[in-house]
Amino acid sequence: MPSNMKLYQLTVIFSVLFSLMGFSYNVWRMEITENNSNVRTACFEMLLELAEVQQLVYAAHYDNNLEQGNPRVGWVKVGLIADLSSLTNQAVAKESVELTQVWSTQWHSMHDDEQAASQIVEQVDNVREEIKRLLASLD
């Protein structure tokens, strides 16, 4: 009988340990999944905003359309991109800060200066590439 009791106790202990391990893994996995979901959502929103900034630059420079190429709208979009980048990784955040800097020095010239418009679009592309790398690295 004592042998059966020890076997029962060991079975109970291992069952509790395996249950705790399973629960711990499940919680960890759910946190990773939620974080990846938040990063993906932020990245997709950033990609949409980046496309709109690029369209705004094209409208301002190539179409001379000050309504669709309004720099105030561009400031809002660049600011939103920078804000959303805080939900991503360091590389995307760095490129987003660089976009803000390029925008702040080039927005006033983008209507007339091909180089200013190109610099903004090039930095938009840099942010976009970092976002693609980040999305590809998520599990």
**Which residue shows structure tokens 């010239």?**
109
- The model carries a pTM of 0.83
CB 40 within 8 A of CB 138: yes
Rounded CA separation 95/130 (Å)? 8
Q: Where do the structural domains in the chain lie, given as residue ranges?
A: 41-137
User: For the segment 27-82, what is each residue's pLDDT rounded down to a tens digit?
Assistant: 888 888 899 999 999 999 999 999 999 999 999 999 999 899 999 999 999 999 99
Q: Which structure tokens are listed for 100?
A: 């803000």
* Nearest-angstrom CA–CA distance, 118 and 14: 64
